Amino acid sequence: MRASRSSVGAGWFAAAVAAFQFLTRLPVPVRVEYTETVFRRSAVFFPLVGFALGIVLSAAGWFLLRIVPAAPAAAVLLCLWVALTGGLHLDGLMDTADGLLSHRSRERMLEIMKDSRVGAMGVMACVLVLVTKGALLFSMMELSWSRSLWLIPLVMLWSRWMMAAAIAGWPYARPEQGLGALFKGVTLRHAAAGAALSALLTVGLWALWAGLQAPSASAAAMVASFVLPPVSAAVVGCGLAAFFHRKLGGLTGDTYGAINELTEAAQLFVIVVCL
């Protein structure tokens, strides 16, 4: 990528900006000189990106519940959820489904995933995941914002941490190709730093809830809602990464998106069950 005349260097601030610019459509008017170091360090801030997106969506859900019923509010919130990321992760999910569900050879599956066209399996996977997310958001909205919707930042930060962990923990299937190759320098040390940031943000969210003293949820349910989502994200995400690695000989940028989408859905399911 081309560097700008007023770009920031390869420091941690530049890495944080790069994470927001790469993973979201939020306006971040800072020019970054994209280097291997910047991309590598940006993985540490994936959870912060998810947390920020979750705050926006949680606030939007609070507003929507005051003007429309739960069903249309959930639909609008889901549309906003997709729009804030530009459909980046859904695109990865669709390409992954097209490749893996073709039941072809490893090389042919990777070729199919690289194709910009979307096949029937990709469309079906996208629709099913969106329907599942929409239904879970509807259930959460019926529970009220104070009991569930404000946990969306938790869902989004841990799913994005799982992407960073997958990048660090499994080899890349296309060493010299694709957007995912930009992050090939990410190590377990970066994933650990992202986990520490995720834990800090989770504790902060817990402290906020404790300060507000949400009266409509039991303490046991709230503890479960804070503990089980990251656990479910790790279990589902690691299981998916191992499966993709076995099928493809490594992971790709598309599989990172699929991991994000499916771990988000898993965490939403856990929250609905808990609350």
Structure confidence at residue 139 (pLDDT): 92
Q: Can you give the pLDDT of all 275 residues of the chain as single tens digits?
A: 344 433 444 588 999 999 999 999 998 888 888 888 888 899 999 999 999 999 999 999 999 999 999 999 999 999 999 999 999 999 999 999 999 998 888 889 999 998 888 899 999 999 999 999 999 999 998 876 666 778 899 999 999 999 999 999 999 987 666 666 678 789 999 999 999 999 999 988 887 776 665 555 566 666 777 788 899 999 999 999 999 999 999 999 999 999 999 999 999 999 888 87
H and E: helices and strands count for the chain: 11, 0
First to last CA, the chain: 45
Is the four-CA dihedral 76, 79, 85, 86 of positive or negative sign? Answer: negative
Q: Look up residue 242 and give its two tokens.
A: 């191992």
Give the pTM.
0.90
The total of other beta-carbon atoms located within 10 Å of residue 259's CB is 30
- What's the rounded Cα separation, in Å, for the pair 88 and 83? 9
Q: How many CB atoms lie within 10 A of CB 85?
A: 21
Delimit the domains of the chain by residue range: 45-274
* pLDDT for 142: 87
Token pair 């730093």 is at which residue? 193
* pLDDT computed for residue 147 by the predictor: 66
Contacts 24+ apart (CB under 8 A), 184-189: 185/36, 185/37, 185/39, 185/40, 186/40, 186/43, 187/40
Residue 116: other Cβ atoms inside 10 A? 6
DSSP 185-251: T--HHHHHHHHHHHHHHHHHHHHHHHHHT-TTS-HHHHHHHHHHHHHHHHHHHHHHHHHHHHHHSSB
Query: Residue 144: its pLDDT value, please?
Result: 67
